[in-house]
Each structure stands twice: as structure tokens, then as C-alpha cells.
A and B are shown apart, each in its own frame.
Chain A
Amino acid sequence: MTAVEDRKVTGFEDNDRKPVGHGRMLRKEDPRLIRGKGRFVDDLQLNGMLHLAILRSPMAHGRVVNVDISAAQAHPKVKLVVTGAMLAEKGLAWMPTLSNDVQAVLATDKVRFQGQEVAFVVAEDRYSARDALELIDVEYEQLEPVVDVRRALDPSSPVIRTDLDGKTDNHCFDWQTGDKAATDAVFASADVVVTEDIVYPRVHPAPMETCGAVADYDAVEGRLTLWSTTQAPHAHRTLYAIVAGLPEHKIRVISPDIGGGFGNKVPIYPGYVCAIVGSLLTGRPVKWVEDRSENLTSTGFARDYIMRGEIAATKDGKILAIRTNVLADHGAFNGTAAPVKYPAGFFGVFTGSYDIEAAYCSMTAVYTNKAPGGVAYACSFRITEAVYLIERLVDCLAYDLKMDSAELRLKNLLRPEQFPYTSKTGWIYDSGNYEPTMREAMRIAGYDELRREQAEKRRRGELMGIGVAFFTEAVGAGPRKDMDILGLGMADGCELRIHPTGKAVVRLSVQSQGQGHETTFAQIVAEEIGIPPADIDVVHGDTDNTPFGLGTYGSRSTPVSGAAAALVARKVRDKARIIASGMLEVSVADLDWDKGSFHVKGDPTKSVTIQDIAMKAHGAGDLPEGVEGGLEAQICYNPENLTYPHGAYICVVDIDPGTAQVSVRRFIAVDDCGTRINPMIIEGQIHGGLTDGVGMALMEIIAFDEDGNCLGGSLMDYLIPTALEVPDWETGFTVTPSPHHPIGAKGVGESATVGSPPAVVNAVVDALKPFGVRHADMPLTPSRVWDAMQGNARPPI
């Protein structure tokens, strides 16, 4: 079957006529969004609603000496001003992070990063709230900041986390994986060892909608309703119950339409807590929406890994071992959102897609006077960093061995008979067939012809680069025996209810931020139960109306919640089969399923549809013995393993030798995410991730000056690709189903963000080969590329 045949011609009006189930289907969420009828947090207007604004620290490190709020309190439109000291009296000045650290809601003792929350104002309108911030007088005693991560552990560095008992340095944690002795032995006897220092600088997800919340506390009922920009409403509700001491059944978290997340909306931010406190204290609904600068300077950043990578190989290019040492900057508080046993996320998959003998990683994480966070921006829990490391190292090896980078990869890719494959760091890759994916990317690219063109251009002094990257992802966290966030297992519930007339509602614990869950999940259920997607309503993002689960991040919706949706539909179908056997007066074994109806084996004319069965289940008359009325089911799905999508990417760049400006001419992405539910949505996910990758490779960085001032605090300074900086994407696919997922699907949301940065950087470095460049760090801005051309490639931090 070709991809072209797979793509049915469907206009939106054709959705109803589509074959039920998987395939290209236009999105159910679009009709409201293209009319401007989306329901985003800031769109909410409640009677009597007040507005909250947050005063933030102007400096990276300082002692809070005094906070004078009297002038702000006197502002005629101000209803409430709250400081850290006032929160401390209520035991709310600190809150847990998702990594078992604590973070200040409002600073009490010190400010620890520029942009940290110091006080908040609640006023009658948003402009007045901002005005009143200017009236708060904070006296600080400025302290020396820790900005250079490499010096954070120097004995002379000031200690940031003086709030932690007995803390005498800025050490956050150590972590290691793999077999050090075995790896060292392989390195000691290898023909070739290549070492490179590789920096993945701090970047920011910067979703188009910033973070915000509306808190509405009903003092009579003791109920708190919180509309917030969260990717994980259930997990947030539980944490609010724990932090604020509110009973969990009296808290309702609603995550309405979300304007992009990319991991930025996983953590609980002080602003959400402030909004809740504001509503508790004023008795009125309180809205907080951060501005762009607040989003960029205070919310979850990503990456910030300084890596020394080493690769050992034979002289003919067989990769033997990988060794790496990582220095991780976690900012002022460890706000990493990763399963508890994985402080470095899933960085352990740094052995990549290759058949190697040994691997070892040691990591040290430190605190600095920068915004907290650590996992965000579509990274699959640090796989972005891992894939970048290995894919850069492979290219460095190709450079030293004077081998073609695609050929070197083909020589080392895992072979299909090795799956399920246990990596040298203990990850069990569920399935994969890598070489056809690589060959397909090379075919689309016209790889050999591109290399010929490059050779000709080099003779003319033109700078053209071809970058290759191959990645394996590990997504769908995760099996509850291994994975939890603050003690909450990473399983997901799903409930399916078929109404008497055969229409259905499916309730999910995951939350879309643009991924199209209302469509994809209707299709998953449709495929299993035979009800058209148009007749299936998908409910999500509301803790009162959905079963418990951990939410959407790390590409986990389809691997975990998608499996739950398929299995709950099969459970309903099993019940429907029993009811059908009664209706057709045959045994269940004598029924065949036709996606939407059961018929008697050998006699297709004797059949009942799922709609007939739904009415029977709710109707008059007896049901088969032991069968309750109704047609519904609920499950909680605990994934057996992660799913391991893979892909091969090829990027073609041209560099202006006069200005060092990089232009991405072509980008070919061939992805394998197992069974493809809605190809249109999958392609969209990949396009977005590729754009992220070009942004990180060429322009995005959150940098700091020596005083700890954030240099990426607005979209004038933090550059994001526009339509002019990215090409028309060329995509393809292969299909290797997951053996343990009920429909064989794997996650795909972050594949392109993981795979594309090394492809772009490898292309730029390849273009710079005539200058003897083996490595240059992101972001490859014109000035940094120019430096590399002069032999002065430097790390960005």
C-alpha cells in the first residue's frame, strides 16, 4: 500500500461519510477555532472577576530586606496585596516542585533568579493591577549571583539554596547509568576515540498562549474551581489538595482550549497558587495571565546541558562504545518534570539507534541563579539532549574517519532481528526496522545527487551542507512499577459510554494543547466500536468529568491514553457481543464482528448494529443472564513498556560565505510512529517539531549576562522561526507497529523536535568542512557561524 493510496480524499463535509476509524479526517476542534470561538483561559469573564499581577525580582540574587506595600494598598482599585511574608504566615510561601524540591511561591528570604515572584496585587482591572505593582517598594541587598554553570560548584561560589538545611554548596544531584568498567575497557582498546564538548543551550517552549489561570473559590460550598493552562489537570488537582490542604473532591481543575504547551504547561507555577490565594482571600474570581516577558523569564525552560561526549570505534567505522559526562544547569529550584526515578529524564537512551558494546554516563546537576525548570519544550524527558549528543558524535566520527555520515549510520544501525532490543543502559526498545527508514529518507532527498552537487559547489567555493540524523525515541511514560511523578503512577483512565441512540461519549485523562485529541481519540474508539467519529464526543481537560490520569506531555497521549481508549472500546464491544447473541439467539461464539455490527457466522443477513445493541442495552425486555443494563465501561491503563518511534532526517543548507547566514533549503523527515491513526494530524505534529528544531539549531537561546540578567526576555530577543526561515517540509513514513500497544501505535508529538536539531547542525557543520570545522554549538547564528569559519567556534555559554 502506498502512502498516496492511504490518503483518502476528504473535505470536511466528507467526514461523516468516511470509513469509520483510522485515516485522514478533518479535526472536530477546528470549527470553533477558525471562528474565534475557542475557549482559552484569558477568554473567560466571570461576574465580579478581579485581576492579579505579580511583582518580580529585578535581580538574579538578592536578600529581601523589606517589602512596603502601603502605597499599593492605598490604590483605589486595589483589593489585595500579598507578600511572601504574608504567605509564610499561612504556610503557603513554598510549594513542592515536580522533582521533590521546593520552590518559593513568593520570595521570603531571598530572590534567586531574575523574574522570581516577590508579591502580588489583586485589583479591579488588569491595568490597575499593573499600576499598583509600581507602588510596591522592595528593598533588596544584592548578592553575587551564580551564573556560570561551570563555576557553580567552586568553593568560592555563593550558596543559592540557603533555605535547605545544612546546604553548603550548589550541588543538586549526581546520576549515572551504564557500565563504567566495561565502557572504559572498550575505550582503552579501541582503534579510534573521538571526544567533543557539546553544549545544548537553554531554550524556551514559548507557547503562543502564555500561562494563566482563573481561580473561583466558593466559600459557602468550600469548592474551588480553577481554569488553568495545564497539560495535566488531574495531577495538578492532587497537588493543590496536598499543598493548600483543600479536600480533593472540592477542587475542580478545568483546562480549556490551550494555546500550545510543549511542556511549558506541565509544572505548577507560583502564579496559579497566587490566583487561588487571591480568590480565597477576596471571595471573588481572580484572573492571572502572565505577559510574554514573564513567560520567557520565569517559566519552565529546557535543556541547559553541557556535555563531554566520547565515541569509540574501529577504524572502519564500527561504533563500539559511548561515554559522556554531563553538567546540568537546573536553575534556582529543581523544577524538572520527570518520573521520580529519572532525575535526568530519559537521557539514558543516549546510545541512540546503534548496535554498540558498552555505554556509560555520569552527570552532575547544579543550582544556578536562573529560572527553575529543566524539562520542557517537547523533549520527551531529555531524549532531545541524548539524541543530539549521539548524532553529533556520530558525525564527528565520520569527520575523523573521512566516511560519509549516512553510510556510517547504515553500518551501525540496529538490525530488525535484534528487537526487542535491550540497550546497554537498560532500555528495552519495543520494535524497530531502521534501515528502510534511512533508505527512504535518502531516496526522497536524492542523497547521492545532493553529494555530487555539494562536491561541485565546493569546487566553486560555495558552502552547501547535508546533515543526516537518525533517532530513536522512548515515549509513553510509563509503566507504574518504574514511573511516577510525586508518587502518582503514570497510568491513564478512560471511560466510554454509549447512549441509547448509539451516540457515544469518551472521557480522557489527557489534555490536548493542539494535538487534536477530540479527533484522534474519536477515531481510535470508532475503529474499535464501529460508531462514526462524528457521533463520538471526546471530553477532556476537566477533573470533574474525566477519570484520573497524568496528562499530556512526553508524547504520552497516544501510547498511554490511546491504548486506554482502544481497550475500553473493546470492553464495551465484548459486552455488546453478549447482548447481540441474545438478540440474534445464537451463542457469542457464532457471531462475527464487522466494525459496527455483529452478524451470525455464515449468514450476514442476520445482524444487529452497535446502535441496535445500544438501544437494547438501555431498553425494555430481558438481557442475557448476568448482563447489566447500559453499555459503558471504564478502565485504567498501565503501559507495559514505553513505545520507541524512530526516524531518519536529512537537512540541506546553504551558507552565504559573505554573511555566514544559514538558509535551510530542504528538510526531509521520514518518521515511523507505528500504526498511523490520523496521518494529517501526525504530519502536522512533525512539521511543528521540525520548525522547533530549526529554531533551536539556528536562533533560539535563553542566555544570561554576567549579572544574571535574562537576555531572552521578549520575542524581540528570543527569536522563533517565522514562515521565511523554514522550508516546505518533505515528509515520509514507514510503519513498524508497537508489539505491546493495543493498536500498534507509538507517540509522535516530539519526534521531530528530538530529531531535527542534530540534522540541522550536522548540515551546517558539513557545509563548514572546508574550514576544518568538526563541531560548532547551537544556536548557529550568523555571528557564531562566522566565528566558526575563522576557526573560532566557541560554546554559547
Chain B
Amino acid sequence: MQVTMSVNGAEVSREIEARLLLVHFLRDHLGLTGTHWGCDTSNCGTCVVLVDDEPVKSCTMLAAMAGGHDVRTVEGLEQDGVLDPLQRGFMECHGLQCGFCTPGMLMTTRALLDRNPDPTDHEIREAISGQICRCTGYATIVRSVQWAAAEQAGTRTSLPEQDDSRTSSAVGSAS
């Protein structure tokens, strides 16, 4: 069947099998490999893309269902060479390690900041609770999103990225 959709602002049209998942359409047919696949059960969220600005798990949506809609992937975050504040925030606050869950985290939190530009830590945690990161322990992801929220709002005065170790002073036998 023929499917036509907008991906990162450009119209694409392909002949596909009706059963083709959106994640495989993006990765294998369009070469947009930034969107990853991590489970078959909608639990891990590494495949999240935005469909009409709503986060969607692309492993659980048929490409055909995205026909006629606007799809946005991680490759669409950077605009004219300018990184999205979230992309910068994740780098500044060590919001990623292996980077495999990162595209999904970025898209989900992009949708969050679009509707709630000043989220609490708990609101960020709720927003990403459909996603799994095995590396970071989430705290730095929360800080990354707060960094981006402040950056967007022009209120970034303190630097959360200094706060790797939140509490301690070095003691012991340093020499």
C-alpha cells in the first residue's frame, strides 16, 4: 500500500506492507536510525516519536496509521544548526550514557515542555515514566530537562550541571 506522511517537515511517500511498524518505516525505509527499538511491548519507550506533537511509541503504531500525519523524530530537533535546548541540557547535565534511550527521552520531554514549560521534578518523572533508561538512574535526565526549561525561559541563572554530587565534601585520605 502507499503511505504518505510528513516527517520532520518534509513529505514522504512510500509503497509499504500494511503490517509495517512505524519504527521500521522510519529506520529501514527512511534511514532515520535515531529512533531506536528496544522492546515489543511498549514498555521501554526508546522508540518514541511525536505524531502531531504527541509522543507515540512507534513500535506499536503501524506506518499506515501515521499516513496523513506529522511525524517528528530526534533528527528533527536540531533546526538550522541550532540544537534544541533539551539536546543541550542532556549534554550539560549528563542526561545520557549509552545514548540508546536518549532519542525517546528527548522526544517525550520535548512534548512535555511544549505543553508545560515549567515542570516540577515530579512532573518530569511522570512524563518519562513510560520509558526505561538502564544507565543514568533518571536524576540527571530530570536535571537536563530542568536545564532546558530554564534555558528556554531565559531564566537559567544557577547551573544545575555543577551539581553532580549534590551533598558531599571530600573527606578522607586524599593526598
Residues of A within 8 A of B (CB): 1-4, 6-7, 9-12, 24, 26-27, 29-31, 33-38, 40, 42-43, 45, 125-127, 205-210, 257-260, 262, 291-293, 416, 433, 436-437, 439-440, 444, 513-516, 668, 670, 672, 679-684, 686-692, 714-716, 720, 722-724, 726, 728-737
Contacts and interface: CB of A to CB of B under 8 A. Distances in A.
Interface of B: 17, 19-20, 24, 27-28, 31-41, 43-44, 46, 73-75, 77-78, 83, 87-88, 90-92, 94, 96-103, 106, 121, 124-126, 128-142, 159, 161-175
A730 B38 contact: no
A474 B111 CA distance: 44
A40 B40 contact: no
Nearest to B175: A737
Contact of B169 (A3, A722, A729): A3
A207 B38 CA distance: 9
A684 B140 contact: yes
B91 A714 contact: no
A36 B135 contact: no
Nearest to A431: B173
A688 B97 contact: yes
5 contacts: A34-B90, A40-B100, A714-B43, A724-B125, A732-B169
A436 B44 contact: no
Given A34-B83, A34-B87, A731 B166 contact: yes
Given A36-B35, A416-B173, 14 more contacts: A2-B169, A31-B91, A43-B33, A444-B168, A682-B164, A683-B164, A691-B136, A716-B43, A723-B138, A724-B125, A728-B142, A729-B137, A733-B170, A736-B173
A5 to B, nearest CB: 9
Contacts of B163: 7
Contact of A736 (B32, B83, B132, B172): B172
B91 A260 contact: no
A675 to B, nearest CB: 9
A36 B75 contact: yes
Nearest to A433: B173
A688 B173 contact: no
Contact of A684 (B27, B103, B136): B136
A668 B24 CA distance: 42
A433 B73 CA distance: 49
B16 to A, nearest CB: 11
Nearest to B99: A33
In the complex, the 10 A-B pairs of residues with the closest C-beta atoms, listed nearest first: A36-B34, A732-B168, A514-B98, A734-B172, A259-B100, A33-B99, A687-B137, A514-B97, A36-B74, A715-B43
A54 to B, nearest CB: 15
B87 A35 contact: yes
A34 B172 contact: no
Contact of A260 (B88, B98, B125, B170): B98
A691 B141 CA distance: 13
Contacts of B141: 723
Contacts of B140: 683-684, 687
A690 to B, nearest CB: 6
Contacts of B36: 40, 42, 208-209, 259
Contacts of A734: 170-174
A516 B41 contact: no
A423 B141 CA distance: 40
A34 B106 contact: yes
B55 to A, nearest CB: 15
B134 A262 contact: yes
A260 B34 CA distance: 16
B88 A12 contact: yes
B164 A679 contact: yes
Contacts of A42: 27, 33, 36-37
A153 B77 CA distance: 58
Given A35-B74, A688-B137, A734-B172, A513 B162 contact: no
B135 to A, nearest CB: 5
A291 B168 contact: no
A516 B97 contact: yes
Nearest to B38: A208
A257 B99 CA distance: 9
B94 A724 contact: no
B33 A40 contact: yes
Interface centre among A43, A126, A262 (most CB of B within 10 A): A43
Nearest to B98: A514
Given A12-B88, A36-B103, A43-B33, A731 B168 contact: yes
Contact of B134 (A33, A291, A688, A735): A688
Nearest to A7: B162
Contacts of B77: 35
Interface centre among B44, B166, B168 (most CB of A within 10 A): B168
B164 A24 contact: yes
Contact of A726 (B37, B138, B172): B138
A714 B94 contact: no
Contacts of B162: 4, 7, 9, 24
Given A722-B132, A724-B126, A731-B167, A291 B40 contact: yes
B41 A716 contact: yes
Contacts of A38: 34, 99-100
Nearest to B143: A728
Contacts of B121: 728
Contact of B44 (A27, A34, A43, A208): A208
Contacts of A716: 41, 43
Contact of B170 (A3, A720, A723, A729): A3
B139 A729 contact: yes
Contact of B165 (A7, A210, A515): A7
Contacts of A33: 96, 99, 102
A12 B96 CA distance: 14
A715 B92 CA distance: 30
A730 B164 CA distance: 9
A688 B136 contact: yes
Contacts of A668: 167
B94 to A, nearest CB: 5
Contacts of B97: 260, 514-516, 684, 688
A92 B96 CA distance: 40
Given A34-B87, A127-B19, A735 B174 contact: yes
Nearest to B141: A723
A24 B161 CA distance: 10
Contacts of B169: 2-4, 732
Contacts of B133: 208
Nearest to A4: B169
A514 B99 contact: yes
A55 B136 CA distance: 34
B43 to A, nearest CB: 4
B165 A679 contact: yes
Contacts of B88: 12
A688 B135 contact: yes
Contact of A513 (B83, B98, B101, B170): B98
Nearest to A44: B33
Contacts of A515: 97
